[in-house]
Structure 1
Amino acid sequence: MKQALSAWNPLRELEDFQNRILRAFNPNNRDTAGQSPASTQWSPLVDVSEDEDSYKITAELPQIPKEDVKVTVENGTLVISGERRFSHEDKSMKYHRIERGYGSFARSFNLPTDADPSRIGAKFVDGVLHVQIQKSEHAKPKQIDVRVD
């Protein structure tokens, strides 16, 4: 019996391994392709940055109404959560592929020790959530004049 040789592709093996892991943790033990759009897991993309005065988290939340987004802080953890609903208004429409994520999401961020949880602000503009976390005043560096006698 003659076996055909194929080129080894480590990325393909890694993808296969990842898919096996994801299927193992799927409570229904089936591919996500077979799930309804409302039950797929997704997580919004975020940028986290810092300047001298504050930390900033920017999250992409397209097609999510402001009312469906929550920002909470508890025990040093900031949580952004919400839900993007799938609505198919046209019942005659057949969907061949649904790749955008729908359903509930939650992203958690441990606040740095110099963050002030009482000074957190959030604004929602054009599907983008901007969270600003002010740093504590006592954590900011201060210059002290040293007198030489």
Structure 2
Amino acid sequence: MLWLLFGFMMIMFSLNPANDWGELVAVASFFGVICYLVSLASMFSLVKPQRKALLVINPGAAVTVPWSRIRSIDAQNGLVVQVVGAKEVVCHAFQGSLVGRIFGAASANRAADSIERYRTRSASLEASDEVESRVPLRRHLLWLTSIWSVLAIAVPLGVRLL
């Protein structure tokens, strides 16, 4: 929704002949950062069981937890992976909520059950025992620059050429 709203606002700014390219770039830079932050919080989270480890991608970091280091997967208030010898990993894709506390977090429970089934069926315990956490800087930079370039260059150029 914000992408559409900011795109519409960029079209309106671009249609006004009083706005020069410097103003359009400044406004698009502001909208680009806001769209990036919203995208970061809403689109980048996932939990993916792999053969050697459980991959948890949160907005700020990607954490790889080997199956041998997982103590339990708790779904009481969002999905939380309890790790032996390290701090727990909260999965932002299945965050807890007030509604979930009242009625039960069905999606987090289904995810935890699916991960446990995968773990017992096809997980390999031969992986390294190190929990790895990394920040995917390349992905973040690509998203930020692509959002900015669309809002700052493509939308005003398309509107002014038509």
Answer yes or no: same fold by TM over 0.5. Answer: no
Tell me which of the two structures has the higher relative contact order, counting C-alpha pairs closer than 8 angstroms and 6 or more residues apart.
2
* Structure of higher CA gyration radius: 1
TM-score when scaled to structure 2? 0.23
